[in-house]
Amino acid sequence: MAKIIRSQRASTSSVRSAPKKKAAKAAKPLPKSVAKKAAKKTDKKTAKPKPWTAEEVYEAFDRFREANPEPKGELEHLNPYTLLVAVVLSAQATDAGVNKATRALFAIADTPEKMLELGEDKVRDYIKTIGLYRNKARNVIALSEKLIAEFGGEVPRTRAEIESLPGAGRKTANVVLNMAFGEHTMAVDTHVFRVGNRTGLAPGKTPLEVELGLEKVIPTEFMLHAHHWLILHGRYTCLARGPRCDVCLINDLCRWPEKTV
């Protein structure tokens, strides 16, 4: 008997046609004017700012001096010792917050001897509204002990000696040397760091780089008050958010590519 072989050819109706892929639309080129503007904006943000000239630096600080001839630090203190303690307490805290806590403290303990007599527990009670107050109270007592044991109860007058005290770093030493002893030091806090970088006056990746850069470019006649002018400028004008470029004394000299004037 003959073997019946069925056809393997599928019927047309049983074959599903594969979906056709849509051709990707070609990106529409930006209008030349828009593309040019975008490229210019990118270049403006990434381009390295031109360094300030000596004449521009002098002009900037001359304006600061004219607007505020005798700038003062905002930390309240009675003598070099209370200034040292106030600066140590100001780490990660506002000057206003430190002042509020130290007014009563310094009224009864304005020397290392009196601070030791008060004791760590009571110091802690006075400064408990300040951040990290437990560790700071410990440092205040420890630095007071060291001042008495090694420096005759007096604040030393060299950076290395001040930095050797518990809780005191380079910034603390620079503030004390400048404000208590009239040294031409540059204390770099967050405000000075921001101003130095944003304006292009002394760009740097670390506070020390900014410090050394500022010391290099600022004329000697301005150095006594320079760090106060820069701190106040950063605190009240060159703000971290929403800088007030419209009232900035040096907006025409500033190298910041995003300034609003």
Catalytic positions: 171, 189
Instruction: Identify the burial level of 93 via C-beta atoms within 10 angstroms of its C-beta, where 0-12 means exposed, 13-18 middle and 19 or more buried.
Output: middle
Question: How big is the CA angle at 62 (ends 59 and 67), to the nearest 5 degrees?
Answer: 130
The DSSP secondary structure of 81-137, one letter per residue, reads: HHHHHHHHHTTTS-HHHHHHHHHHHHHH--SHHHHHHH-HHHHHHHTTTSTTHHHHH
3-state secondary structure of 225: helix
C-alpha distance from residue 134 to each of 75, 140, 169, 173, 253 (Å): 20, 10, 18, 22, 44
Cβ atoms within 10 Å of 186's Cβ, excluding its own: 23
The DSSP secondary structure of 60-88, one letter per residue, reads: HHHHHHHH-SS---SS--SSHHHHHHHHH
DSSP state of 172: H
Residue 247 structure tokens: 């009232």
